[in-house]
Amino acid sequence: MSIGGTDIRLHINDVGIIFFSPESVKHIEEGEDYFTANYSTPDKVLSHVLQGTLVGFCTGTPGDFILRFHCGYPDNAYLKHCEFALRLGFRCVGGTVCFRDLHDLRAWSKSCPPQQTLSLPDGTYHVTVCSDRPDSGTLGDDQLIDIYFQPLEEFPQLKYEGVPVLCAY
C-alpha cells in the first residue's frame, strides 16, 4: 500500500469532513437529504462512525483543508506534538475512499470528484487524524490534516460519546 505523498485539497462549507467508500453509501439516493434524517444528531453520526462506513469528524469551522495521507501510524513524538488528534475506524470496500464536505449530505450526489478520492486496498483500518492550527492562527485557513491508515484484522474498539471532534475553538 503506497499512499504517502498523496494530498487532497478540500474546501468545505460546513464544519465537518466525511469519508467513505462509494459502495458503502450506494443506498443514498441522488439528491436525497441524507443529513437531516440520518446524520444530524450525535447518535446518528456515531452509528455510522462505529460501523466505519460513512465516517465524519468535526473540523470546528468551514474553510480550506489540505489532507495529506500516510500508511501506518504516526510517530509517537509527532503525535504528542500535534494540537489536535483523534482515532477512527474505517472499512474500505471497492478500493476507493472519497473525502467530501459534510454539507454534501444535504443534497447528495453519488459522483465524487476524482481529485477528492484515494485508492486504498479493501479492508479494515485504524485511522489516525492529526492537525495543528495553521500559521495564521485561523482554523480552516489552508489547514494541513495528516491522515494515517493502518490495516487491521478486525474493526478497532472506538470510544466516542457523539461526533468525533478534531478541532474546536
Give the predicted TM-score (pTM) of the model.
0.95
Tens-digit pLDDT profile for residues 42-69: 999 999 999 999 999 999 999 999 999 9
The answer to whether 37 and 114 are in contact (CB under 8 A) is: no
Mean pLDDT of the chain: 94
Tens-digit pLDDT profile for residues 77-91: 999 999 999 999 999
Give the model's pLDDT for residue 147.
96
Of the chain, the percentage scoring pLDDT greater than 90 comes to: 91
Helix (H, G, I), strand (E, B) or coil at 17: strand
Q: Provide the greatest CA pair distance for the chain.
A: 44
**Grid cell for residue 66:** 489540505
Taking the C-alpha atoms of residue 105 and residue 29, their distance in angstroms, rounded to an integer, is 11
Give the model's pLDDT for residue 2.
53
Give the model's pLDDT for residue 169.
60
**Grid cell for residue 154:** 478486525
Dihedral (Cα; 35, 38, 39, 41), 10-degree rounding = 120
Give the model's pLDDT for residue 141.
97
User: In the block, which residue shows the cell 459534510?
Assistant: 102
Domains of the chain, earliest start first: 6-152 (2.60.34.30)
DSSP-assigned states of every residue in 42-66: HHHHHHHHHHTSEEEEE-SS-EEEE
Give the model's pLDDT for residue 109.
96
Give the model's pLDDT for residue 162.
82
The answer to whether 127 and 147 are in contact (CB under 8 A) is: yes
